[in-house]
Amino acid sequence: MIEVRNMKAPKLQIFLDGAKTSLSPAGMVLFLTFFAYGALVASSNLPVELGLGLTIFVFAIPGQVVLVDEIARGSSLISAGLLTTFTSIRLLPLTVSLLPVIREESTPKWLEIAIAHFIAVTVWVQSMVNLPPLPKDQRALHCLGFCIALLLFTSCGTILGFYAAHLLPPNIAAATLMITPIYFFLSLRETAKRKTERIAFVLGITLAIPLTIWFPNWALIGSGLIGGTVAYLSVKRGQRGQFNDK
Amino acid sequence: MINDLSIFLIILVGFLATEPWRWAGVFFSKNLDENSEIILWVRAVSTALIAALIMRLLLSPPGSLEEAPLVVRLLAVLCATLTFFVFKKRLLLSIAVGLVSFLILLWCLPILEGSPI
């Protein structure tokens, strides 16, 4: 549980308190996710340096999986990059809504940018729960400790997953590759709270079936743009209809 | 295998595709409307894109997962989803059930195929 220290707590102590909060179910799920991602990198015949580099410099699992999967399927770097861009735009609203919780007037810009590098779903959810009980001047450092600990977890997960894919018996190795779709399926369903996103989720799954079979290279961008736009427009039209009814 | 330059370029592309959104979040967090139309549309597109990614990973999976039959892959996700709802959204437990059911189904499959039914 979160310990609330007094105002004069030493900086290192706050940092370590933050790091300790990574030893939680959320931290374990994240480790497992990156373990599965490491196995994916190995199964895609890509080198471990690439997998680890992306974990450190991207630190957002959906984008990493899209990028690795696209590269493994022989897409061009530009189209793989564009797809990754689309999956990463969701970090913008996450950052916008989380930063006011973390910062105070005196928080240096570099610290905000350093923390922002780690903002993705796990850090967002955990920080929204863990930080508000703390005094404002401790939050940034506490959060940084949490993020650095997660970086350590995820890097180890990536490396272990990569080598496990080669060492484990084939059935178990296949099972580790199931972690990513199961995890994405459950967590995306949970985070898709708005009506637009729920419709987009169903449309994305449905459209991907014919597209993967007949146009595998266009499956992601096609399902994403068509499914997302149709979901957005249908909800918008529904809202306008309601206004007209009044 | 790919060379060092390609590795560097892929990581750079990954970074450039991701990090600017976080920077934008830092610099515009004081005056950006989360509920603006463009953000709503973008969230819808990225949700559909990741949903499609899940389906593609299941339909046309990487590596040794390809050797497991499609029905086993889909049933494993179903088992995990059922666990998730029955046991109050416990993510770790649900993933574990998904993996165990995947292995059990995989192990049962030759027996089922050999049966006269």
pLDDT band at B112 (very low <50, low <70, confident <90, very high): low
Nearest to B44 among A60, A177, A231 (CB): A231
Query: A197-239: per-residue pLDDT in tens?
Result: 999 999 999 999 999 999 887 888 899 999 999 999 999 888 8
CA distance A171 to B68: 8
Cα-Cα end-to-end distance for chain A: 50
A116 shares contact with chain B (CB less than 8 Å)? yes
Read off the pLDDT of each residue in B86-113 and give the average, rounded to a whole number: 88
What is the complex's ipTM, to 2 decimals?
0.87
Q: Which of B33, B37, B55 to mutate to test the interface with A (most CBs of A within 10 A)?
A: B55
Alpha helices (H) along chain A: 11-20, 25-43, 48-57, 61-72, 77-88, 91-102, 109-116, 121-130, 136-167, 170-191, 195-214, 219-245
> Per the structure block, which two tokens stand in for A122?
């796990």
| A77, A119, A216: residue with CB nearest B60 | A216
- From chain A residues 157-196, the ones with a CB under 8 A of any chain B CB are 165, 170-188, 190, 192, 194, 196
Label residue B63 left, alpha or beta by phi (over 0 means left) and psi (-120 to 50 means alpha): left
Structural element, H or E, at residue B84: helix B70-86
Residue A125: band (very low, low, confident or very high) from pLDDT cuts 50, 70, 90: confident
> pTM score, two decimals?
0.85
d(CA B87, CA A181): 19
pLDDT computed for residue A41 by the predictor: 95
Q: Residues A64, A55: contact at Cβ < 8 Å?
A: yes
Closest by Cβ to A227, choosing from B16, B48, B102: B48
